[in-house]
Amino acid sequence: MSASVTDATTAGGLPEANPWGAPPRRRRRKLTFDRALFMAVFLGLPVAVFVIFVVIPIGQALFYSLTDWSGFSPVMNVVGLDNYVKLLNDETFLKALRNNALLTLVVPLVTLAAALAIAVVVTTAGPSTGQVRGLNGSGFYRVVSFFPYAVPAIVIGLLWAQVYDPAAGLFNGILTGLGLDGFKDYAWLGEVRAAMPASMFVMIWASIGFYTVLFVAAIKGIPAEIYEAARIDGAGRFRTAISITLPSIRDNVQTAYIYLGILTLDAYVFMAALNPGGGPANSTLTMSQHLMNTAFKKGQFGYATSMGVVLALVTLLFAALIFAIFYFAGGRDKKGEVAR
């Protein structure tokens, strides 16, 4: 009886509704040549590229981190977790790890706050009546703020190294010209307490432009009616930015924070250009710099690879932490509203 019900069809050839409430069986489509080719090109090829260029190198890195490979010889011995134990006692690596943590704590926060402020000013901080728009000449501000990002990071680092030059640098020249003679011949990159803040400033200056443009594009996607309703309710510019603009571009801020955090966890290009030796007392040394020095100057590729594995794990942990913070800070509420 059940077979006759399942196989029953209407006059139009369509399957008849099952009176027992069970869903009708779906027939498997035959694997034709076109479907096989489509799967091979759009599924198989990307998977193959991912395996070759991502999965296999990760596996190799994990293996090399367990060896004493010198990098220039096929001979290597498996030492197990000795490299990772050595890292825990390596004061230079731990100092570099703390420097990266400090960069990740300060640079993204300051950069994104400044970029968001500029984006709000050039998009919604115009006249309080009429169409919602930014300040007059806002296009000029966008171009000026984006200009540093158009210059390669290595060039920016080398330029600022000259600006910070103690004897002939522009920065000290401006300060002494203003009557601050205490900064004459001051080594901004040669003092322990000044080297890291000076390096942070360069990274912030170089990154603000890109994230300003990112936030401007996101704010432009917010319906103008929302801002007009806020005006009618008497909300000021600051209140509008905090209560409307920031929650509306939460996902963009999250993405920007992760990207910028990854940049600061590496920071090799900027630091190598500003302070190739790691700065005074290793005050600006990063994990990537220490990794390169260990591999190519000391010939300890196995040990350096273990540093790379730790750096990768720290990066993944940072990304997971940012996702969790944004989720519990508002993403969960947003999903709940959508579900309701």
User: What's residue 331's pLDDT?
Assistant: 53
Residues 6+ apart with CB under 8 A from 147: 209
Per-residue pLDDT tens for 201-212?
999 999 998 999
Q: Residue 167 in contact with residue 185, Cβ under 8 Å?
A: yes
Q: Which amino acid is at 235?
A: A
User: What's residue 191's pLDDT?
Assistant: 92
DSSP state of 293: I
User: What's residue 125's pLDDT?
Assistant: 67
Provide the H-helix boundaries in 125-223: 138-146, 153-163, 170-177, 192-220
Prediction pTM value:
0.80
- Centroid of chain to Cα 165: 30
User: What's residue 253's pLDDT?
Assistant: 93
Q: Residue 309 in contact with residue 65, Cβ under 8 Å?
A: yes
User: What's residue 339's pLDDT?
Assistant: 41
Q: H or E stretch including 331?
A: none
Domains, the chain, with CATH or none: 36-82 (no CATH), 91-330 (1.10.3720.10)
pLDDT-flagged residues of the chain (< 70): 1-29, 125-138, 331-340
User: What's residue 66's pLDDT?
Assistant: 94
């050839």: which residue's tokens? 13
Q: What Å distances lie between residue 153 and 79, 144, 150, CA to CA?
A: 38, 17, 9
User: What's residue 184's pLDDT?
Assistant: 87
Q: How many CA atoms lie within 13 A of 180 on its CB side?
A: 9
User: What's residue 23's pLDDT?
Assistant: 60
- Centroid of chain to Cα 95: 22
Q: Which amino acid is at 265?
A: L
Q: What Å distances lie between residue 297 and 67, 215, 266, 288, 292, CA to CA?
A: 18, 42, 19, 13, 8
How many other CB atoms are there within 10 angstroms of residue 313's CB atom?
10
